[in-house]
Amino acid sequence: MDLYLDAEQQKTRRIAFVHCEDEDKCGFLFEFTYPNCTFYFCKEHKKGYGADLNTLTGAGMDCEQHGKMERYDILQEDNVCPSCEKDMLAIISVGR
């Protein structure tokens, strides 16, 4: 799978991927629609959920089954991978 977008694709699609630096063992990958680069992660589901910045409140987002999810802002801080909690998340491609 080719995850890298060329310049033209970035302009129109504005997609970013963030992935765990431990691609082999962990393999966490999440897709964003730029500039919305905030997501929430449910540890029990091992799944990320994109947040809609227009409806985002200070209260954050809850998983219907598991309650409060952790918030990640990939452009604002260095984040430890929510899945393995060992390696850092790396951004693959961001639209302008």
Judge contact between 43 and 14, C-beta under 8 A.
no
Nearer to Zn ion, 18 or 94 (CB): 18
Q: Give the DSSP per-residue string, 24-38.
A: TTT--EEEEETTB-E
Stretch that binds Zn ion, among 1-9, 24-32, 49-57, 72-80 (CB under 5 A): 24-32
Nearer to Zn ion, 20 or 94 (CB): 20
- Tell me the three state secondary structure of residue 23: coil
Judge contact between 89 and 74, C-beta under 8 A.
yes
Subset of residues 32 to 91 that bind Zn ion, contact rule: CB under 5 A: 42, 44-45, 63, 65-66, 81, 83-84, 87
Residue ranges binding Zn ion (CB under 5 A): 20, 26, 28, 42, 44-45, 63, 65-66, 81, 83-84, 87
